[in-house]
Structure 1
Amino acid sequence: MKYVEEFRRHDLAQQLATAIRREVDPDRQYRLMEFCGGHTHAIFRYGVQDLMPANVRFIHGPGCPVCVLPIARIDYAIQLAQQEDVILCTYADLLRVPASGRRSLLKLKAEGADVRMLYSNQDALRIARENPDREVVFFAIGFETTTPPTAVAIKQAQSQGLKNFSVFCNHVLTPAAIQNILESPELREMGAVSIDGFFGPSHVSSIIGSQPYEFFAEEFQKPVVIAGFEPLDVMQSALMLIRQLNEGRHEVENEYTRVVTREGNRKAQRLVAEVMELRRHFEWRGLGRVPYSALQIKPSFAEFDAEQRFDVSVTPASDIKGCECPRILRGVKKPT
């Protein structure tokens, strides 16, 4: 299959591993953080870390929007699902996320709540059409990649006159989280490790482009390489980061040129800007309150905003005692 097998070839992986070993400086450490769950998956699935020299370390950051969602937002979704005549629709990976009091959406479903697993927000629109006497709430989550489809669903609901459809919006933004990791004194006090460079996320960058990372490269003097999902993408990007660090450069480079441009997907950006706006702050698991790091539905589309439609309030909740997720998301602890 074009653009898949070519990026998993064993012989090319060995050549890249040799090139990396040849170029690393044995007297320094290379601590490279990936921010994309797809990169973390590729690193573990294909054993990419094992092909690196001992002084090249991959640090796994907050690359999963489900993992960074705080307990209070799950509590909020549970309260929505408990409202009379509500059908709560969401993706499968949210069902088991623990909330306060050892609850979860999956347990709530077992108790009789109408919680439905979806593959697409289009399924939520269909359910709303099929159940005009019920309130259908779509629990939307994701980084910039999944935000445009949510905006499309809201506009479709408006054009179709679906008065019983709303969105519980939990879309978060990658650049704000990267900035938080780089500049927060609080994180340093909690023992966050030093980071030398970043793998820029793949699909996120296909939407926002590579331009937003230029600020981090310049302001914090950290190189960024936009990397594709396949193992050879990750290895080539690691080599590009190592070369930048060896040469004292801190630039944004794009390894994933077959998908990502500097400008990104302008049509998708305009669509999101039409329907959504920045939140002043948003709580991230492991990072705390991060300013301007998430989106909310604009007042002009308030009729489709579940947070405006339903009278729900939740109390702040602390992370589960003993849970290592916050330390992993900050790159302090390595997942095992």
Structure 2
Amino acid sequence: MKYISEYRDADLVAQYLEEIRHTVTRPWTIMEVCGGQTHSLVKNGILNLLPPEVQMVHGPGCPVCVTPLNLIDKAVYLAEEKGVILCSYGDMIRVPGSKRSLLESKARGADVRILYSPLEAVKIAQENPDREVVFFAVGFETTAPANALSVIHAQRAGVPNYSILASHVLVPPAIEAVMNDPDSNIQGFLAAGHVCAIMGIDEYYPLVDRYKIPIVVTGFEPVDLVQGILMTVRQLEKGEHYLENQYSRVVKPEGNPEAQKVIQRIFTIADREWRGIGVIPMSGYEVRPEYVAYDANIKFNVNIEKAAESAECIAGLVLKGIKKPQECPQFGRGCTPQMPLGAPMVSSEGACAAYHHFSQAMEEVSA
């Protein structure tokens, strides 16, 4: 299959790994930003095949993981107290709130539905004109166009009982926040290819210049990742820092201008709270005032008192790349996919979930 099978070529992966071993002369710490990259690195055993000098740490690139506790509580409130049909992607419903998850709300009788597209939620609203329908719009820049289109579609179709609970976060400000953290020791980044496919790569040049770090945009297959790591190590060893695009088969420098227009039509950039990290200035999307009728947060005037995170969960340190999942005392004990303390253990892009699901494979590779 073109552009998939050839990027899973074991011989090519081995070749790039050998080049990394021959290139590296000192320790380097590289962060892969996206949870999809993390899962591929763990699932394919790449972390164990890299030379010990190359340390990969896992970043905040899991939108489900960084959705703040308060927003989960708002979704639960809308489903239980306001009686809305609460629609969401599958990952979100298992993320724990301060009292319970959306899955637990569903078990208690709330109308919570798992969908694959926000346009399905608009259709549900059309079919249930006497019910309010809210789509939990979570994601990075990648999913923002589809969520924005759902608002446009609802407006054009004259569907007044549809709205979105927006929780969109942006990657470049997250990289900046990681670099500004005094405990961070990141020396290079693998940027998320799917985000850049939408937004282009221009936002990363200022980060490269300001922090003097290499940033390499990569895909998600094994060949993509080891080639991206090699490209990063080459820059680090030469004392260089610039932006490279390993994922050029998908990512164009300008991104997708039409998708960007849709995002800009519906959303505006604002400060956003990140679970386990805190507020990052100008790091998220909010619904524009002219589309306030489709903003669930405003429409229902939801005011939920903020609750404290679990003192036992170190998700924030994991998301900032300061700790690895297995360094958490609760990993696999008090925190499992069945009974999670934090979102990284339940999201399909969460680092803790990756380590938990593929721990045996990692051990076998290490052995």
Q: TM-score range by the shorter chain?
A: over 0.9
Confirm whether residue 303 of structure 1 aligns to residue 301 of structure 2.
no
Return the offset for 1:71.
0.7
Query: How many Å separate the matches in 1 of 2:87 and 2:246?
Result: 36
2:69 match: 71
Instruction: Measure how far apart 1:83 and its partner are.
Output: 3.5
- For the 8 Å contact 2:178–2:184, the answer to whether it is kept is no
1:326 to 301, 308, 316: 316
AA partner of residue 116 (structure 1): R
The aligned counterpart of 2:31 is: 33
Q: Which residue of 2 aligns with 1:6?
A: 6
1:67-216 equivalent positions in 2, closer than 5 A: 67-101=65-99, 103-183=100-180, 187-188=181-182, 192-216=183-207
Cα distance, 1:35 vs. partner?
Answer: 0.6
**C-alpha distance in 1, partners of 2:124/2:207?**
43
Q: Is the 8 A contact 1:70 1:319 kept in 2?
A: no
TM-superposed CA distance for 1:202, in Å, is 1.2
- 2:342 corresponds to: none
Runs (4+) of structure 1 moved beyond 6 Å? none
Contact in 1 for aligned 2:190/2:215 (Cα 8 Å): yes
By how many angstroms is 1:119 displaced?
A: 1.2
1:57 paired residue number: 55
What's the offset of the Cα at 1:262?
A: 1.4
Q: Secondary structure at the match of 2:261?
A: helix
- Specify the SS of the correspondent of 1:294: strand
SS of 2:67 mapped into structure 1: coil
Deviation at residue 312 of structure 1 after TM alignment:
1.5
- In 2, the alpha carbon distance for the partners of 1:23 and 1:121 equals 46
Question: What CA RMSD, in Å, does the superposition of the two structures yield over aligned residues?
Answer: 1.0
Task: Give the Cα separation in 1 of the matches to 2:92 and 2:82.
Answer: 21
Shift of 1:63: 1.5
Unaligned runs of 5+ in 1: none
Q: Which amino acid aligns with 1:180?
A: A
The offset of 1:96, in angstroms, is 1.1
Equivalent-residue separation in structure 1 for 2:148 and 2:139 (angstroms): 12
Question: Aligned AA for 2:296?
Answer: A
Q: State the number of aligned residues.
A: 326
Structure 1: which amino acid aligns with 2:325?
P
Provide the C-alpha distance between the structure 1 equivalents of 2:15 and 2:111, rounded to a whole number of angstroms. Answer: 53
Q: TM-score normalised to the size of structure 2?
A: 0.87
Identity across the alignment (%): 45
Q: Which amino acid aligns with 2:191?
A: G
Of 17, 26, 40, which aligns to 1:42?
Answer: 40
Question: 1:13 deviation in Å?
Answer: 1.2
Q: Structure 2: where are the runs of 5+ without partners?
A: 327-367
Question: What amino acid maps onto 2:324 in structure 1?
Answer: K
**What is the TM-score of this pair, normalised by structure 1?**
0.95
Q: Which residue of 2 aligns with 1:18?
A: 18
Cα distance in 2 for partners of 1:229, 1:277 equals: 29
Deviation at 1:82, TM superposition (A): 2.2
Match of 1:284 in 2: 274
Q: Is the 8 A contact 2:193 2:218 kept in 1?
A: yes
For residue 231 of structure 2, the aligned residue among 225, 240, 244 is 240
Give the superposition deviation at 1:107.
Answer: 0.8
C-alpha distance in 1 between matches for 2:39 and 2:31: 13
Q: Distance in 1 between matches of 2:193 and 2:245?
A: 10
Q: Look up the equivalent residue of 1:90 and give its one-letter code.
A: S
Give the SS at the match of 2:114. strand
- Write the distance in 1 (CA, Å) between the matches of 2:106 and 2:10: 45
Give the match's secondary structure for 1:293: strand
Deviation, structure 1 residue 38:
1.2
Separation in structure 1 between the aligned mates of residue 37 and residue 262 of structure 2, nearest angstrom: 27
